[in-house]
Amino acid sequence: MAYLFTSESVSEGHPDKVADQISDALIDNFLAFDADSKVACETLVTTGQVILAGEVKSNTYLDVQQIARDVIKKIGYTKSEYMFEANSCGVLSAIHEQSADINQGVDRKTPEEQGAGDQGMMFGYATNETENYMPLALDLSHKLLKELAALRRENTAITYLRPDAKSQVTLEYSDDNVPVRIDAIVISTQHDDFDEETAMLAKIKKDIIEILIPRIIAKNPEHAHLFNDKINYHINPTGKFVIGGPHGDTGLTGRKIIVDTYGGKGAHGGGAFSGKDPSKVDRSAAYATRHIAKNLVAAGVADEILVQVSYAIGVAEPMGIFIETYGTSKVNLTNGEIAKKVAAIFDMRPYFIEQRLKLRNPIYSETAAYGHMGRTPEVVTKTFSAPGGEEKTVTVELFTWEKLDYVDQIKTAFGL
């Protein structure tokens, strides 16, 4: 039976994402100057205020206030009327040293025996319904907001946009689980004040449908057939949206974990990513399971795959690996047999995940908006500055967990 499925995304200017981006900028700066840093940083943002809290074990000292201000400026909170502005907001740090009780369970004399930074279960998911093996509703939700942010920065075709925004896409699927059309699109975007609200709403809706949507179609021709004249658009459905960002809603690190992952498809173990160094398996093992799921689907093991791994704090070996293929398996094996083969191919001990995916590098700022999964791997050069004037330039590989570098090995193991 045909059905509807919905996913949402939020922009880089959404208050929770502002918090995520600050937390991950701190991670990157710590790792740039001390690759062995252990960091768990939480950020709270509200009207005119940033509060940093968490635990750190590192050999470097950072100007955390300046790092936070630089992130806020890059996002676009640069005007006093936003009531949250990069140069004038207060930044309070309550960061302290990591608990020795936790650290003793992670650090070992032999690096390979490194224990998991916490207990818990992590999930990775992949589907062949898009080229990047992501659920389509979430993929489109992200793309709508990335393009809206591009329009905001261009400030030509649309000149009234402010940083905060949310999107939501509802797809209709056929009986055989194929997306056939977009049923509804919801976009709420913060904007400058208008003299007259009715005219404002009409203009914003017109600009979204006639400027943003055509740009999305042009950049994603493979999905052009899903757009139609029967889409139910809800553009700023509450009306006026001038008050937004941290002034309109307090933001916290880790409150958008479904936006960060698969938009409600597959499953989620509950652990957030941003602000955590890779010894925290909430982050590293979630990336590792996505890497596994994507390579399995790309290799042709199944059309859709969910991978679960679980850990005990301080223990290197995972408690177990679980595979769900949703009845789409292309191999004559049970899900349990597939899991055994996966365990033989991928070493899921924390140290080996870090090494395989090159996670002890400053690669996390780019993950903190528009999703951690489904992104394009690339090599970039970054420069970081320490308070004493020291500069560190590093070349790093982003989104290594999105690489299809195990497809051949998987095909050999599964006889494909």
**Which residues carry a binding-site annotation for L-methionine?**
55, 98, 249, 280
| Long-range pairs, 375-384, Cβ under 8 A, ≥24 | 375/132, 375/399, 375/402, 376/132, 376/402, 377/402, 377/403, 382/28, 382/32, 384/28, 384/29, 384/32, 384/33
Positions at the binding site = 14, 16, 42, 55, 98, 164-166, 240-241, 249, 255-256, 272, 276, 280
Residue linked to tokens 């498809």: 265
Q: How far separated are the first and last CA of the chain, in Å rounded?
A: 32
Positions at the binding site for K(+) = 42
* Cβ proximity of 82 and 247 under 8 Å: yes
Q: b/e for 278-297, b at 16 or more Cβ within 10 A?
A: bbbbbbbbbbbbbbbbbbbb
What is the spatial distance between Cα 246 and Cα 207, in angstroms, rounded to a whole number?
Answer: 25
What is the spatial distance between Cα 404 and Cα 400, in angstroms, rounded to a whole number?
Answer: 9
Retrieve residue 264's tokens.
């409600």
What is the spatial distance between Cα 200 and Cα 186, in angstroms, rounded to a whole number?
Answer: 17
Residue 120, phi-psi category: left (phi > 0), alpha (psi -120 to 50), beta (remainder): left
Positions at the binding site for Mg(2+) = 16
Positions at the binding site for ATP = 14, 164-166, 240-241, 249, 255-256, 272, 276
What is the spatial distance between Cα 295 and Cα 59, in angstroms, rounded to a whole number?
Answer: 37
